[in-house]
Every structure is written in structure tokens, then in C-alpha cells.
């Protein structure tokens, strides 16, 4: 099963990942992160299909997606 991990403190609340997710399983938290932004969170992890669109579109590299325990990395930093 795919696993989506969002680092709240890297998120700037742009909501691009929420719009990009074909399963509509991402939403914005009602709490703020250390930067003062409402951050994205996964609301229905079991429905994730591991497409990685959320991780690809995130401009702040805040999302990691693992499929079958393999973590895909788009950038090294
Ligand atoms: S990997 Fe795909 S289905 Fe899963 S949360 Fe990201 S965009 Fe949605
Ligand atoms: S795309 Fe990235 S920065 Fe934008 S809301 Fe999603 S996790 Fe946060």
C-alpha cells in the first residue's frame, strides 16, 4: 500500500497538491505550522493509489510517497 508523508513545516499552504490528487484524499489542516501556514495533510491514506502527483507538483518538496516500501526521490538536497 502506498504511503504519503507530508512534512508540515516545509508546506506553504499553496493547496496545489490538494487540487492535483485524483483521489481527493488531501486537505488542508485547520492548524498552522511553524511558518504560520495552514498545511496539507492526508485525510484518507488507504485510498491512495501511489500516483505521486502530489509529490511532483509540490513546489516545496514537502511530500514523500513510498510504494511497496520504495521511496521515490525527485531531488537530492
Ligand atoms: S500519491 Fe496520488 S493518490 Fe496518493 S495522495 Fe498523492 S496524488 Fe493522491
Ligand atoms: S503542494 Fe506542497 S506546499 Fe503546497 S499545500 Fe501541498 S504540501 Fe504544501
Residue ranges lining ligand 2, Cβ < 6 Å: 6, 11-17, 39-40, 57-58, 60, 62-63
Number of residues that this document lists for the chain: 77
Give the whole-angstrom CA distance, residue 75 versus residue 41.
Answer: 21
* pLDDT reported for residue 67: 87
In tens, the pLDDT along 6-65 reads 999 999 999 999 999 999 999 999 999 999 999 999 999 999 999 999 999 999 999 999
* Residue 26 beta carbon below 6 angstroms from any ligand 1 atom: yes
* pLDDT reported for residue 64: 94
CATH fold for domain 3-71: Alpha-Beta Plaits (3.30.70)
Q: Read off the pTM.
A: 0.90
Which atom of ligand 2 approaches the CA of 61 most closely? 2
Give the whole-angstrom CA distance, residue 26 versus residue 18.
Answer: 5
Question: What are the boundaries of each domain within the chain?
Answer: 3-71
DSSP string of 12-64, one letter each residue: ----HHHHH-TT--EEEEEEE-TTS-EEEEES-GGG-----HHHHH-TT--EE
Amino acid at each position: 500500500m502506498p504511503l504519503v508523508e507530508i512534512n508540515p513545516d516545509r508546506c506553504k499552504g499553496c493547496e496545489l497538491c490538494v487540487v492535483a490528487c485524483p483521489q481527493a484524499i488531501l486537505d488542508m489542516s485547520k492548524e498552522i505550522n511553524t511558518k504560520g501556514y495552514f498545511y496539507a495533510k492526508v485525510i484518507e491514506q488507504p485510498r491512495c493509489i501511489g500516483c505521486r502527483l502530489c509529490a511532483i507538483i509540490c513546489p516545496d518538496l514537502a511530500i514523500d510517497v513510498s510504494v511497496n516500501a520504495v521511496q521515490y526521490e525527485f531531488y537530492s538536497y
